[in-house]
């Protein structure tokens, strides 16, 4: 089992993004704590994580749309893929009684999230800061790039 706890290496100096990420890590930790037990509490914890993740990813996707990202960018695509896997794990456990994919997903998410946060989300946070983006209003003090961003928004990605 791969345990993930909130730590400063996950902080991106974007208060709203950091709060959302800390919530994600806490919900994932609750799933990890439920792994040794029966399926029902694990499924319940994973459903809460999935509900959180729907809004978590939607929030970042709205920010990307407001700041010059193309609708079909790699960051949003990764969100769609991860969320689809999470939802499929819930469906299999709930409807077919197969909790093995869900159990595997808890460990995989603990491995995936730090890499995602420190690359794609860090690039997004940097991009938002460069535009003086206000998450509360969805407005930028500076103009978004003229050409839509298809990558993650970081200097290493186009």
**For a pLDDT cut of 90, what percent of the chain falls above it?**
72
CA dist list (Å): 82 to 41, 75, 111? 22, 11, 13
Q: Which residues span the domain enclosing 34?
A: 13-140
Average pLDDT, the chain: 90
Does residue 5 sit within a domain?
Answer: no
Distance in angstroms (rounded) separating the CA atoms of residues 142 and 87? 37
Q: Specify the pTM.
A: 0.90
Q: Return the higher-pLDDT residue of 157 and 81.
A: 81
In this structure, are residues 43 and 93 in contact, taking their beta carbons and an 8 Å threshold?
yes
Q: How many structural domains are present in the chain?
A: 1
In this structure, are residues 24 and 49 in contact, taking their beta carbons and an 8 Å threshold?
yes
Does residue 4 sit within a domain?
Answer: no
pLDDT per position as a tens digit, 110-148: 999 999 999 999 999 999 999 999 888 888 888 776 666
Does residue 149 sit within a domain?
Answer: no
pLDDT per position as a tens digit, 22-49: 999 999 999 999 999 999 999 999 999 9
Does residue 83 sit within a domain?
Answer: yes
Does residue 85 sit within a domain?
Answer: yes
Distance in angstroms (rounded) separating the CA atoms of residues 97 and 69? 39
| CATH number of the CATH domain containing 66 | 1.20.120
Does residue 118 sit within a domain?
Answer: yes
């Amino acid at each position: 089992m791969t345990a993930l706890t909130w730590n400063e290496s996950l902080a991106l100096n974007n208060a709203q993004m950091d709060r959302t990420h800390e919530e994600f890590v806490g919900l994932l930790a609750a799933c990890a704590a439920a792994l040794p037990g029966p399926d029902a509490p694990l499924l319940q914890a994973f459903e809460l994580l999935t509900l959180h993740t729907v809004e978590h990813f939607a929030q970042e996707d709205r920010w990307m749309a407001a700041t010059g990202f193309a609708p079909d960018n790699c960051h949003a695509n990764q969100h769609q893929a991860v969320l689809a896997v999470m939802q499929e794990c819930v469906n299999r456990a709930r409807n077919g009684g197969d909790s093995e994919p869900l159990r595997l997903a808890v460990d995989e998410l603990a491995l995936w999230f730090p890499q995602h946060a420190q690359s794609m989300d860090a690039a997004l946070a940097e991009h938002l800061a460069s535009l003086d983006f206000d998450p509360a209003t969805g407005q930028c003090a500076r103009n978004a790039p003229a050409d839509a961003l298809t990558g993650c928004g970081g200097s290493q990605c186009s």
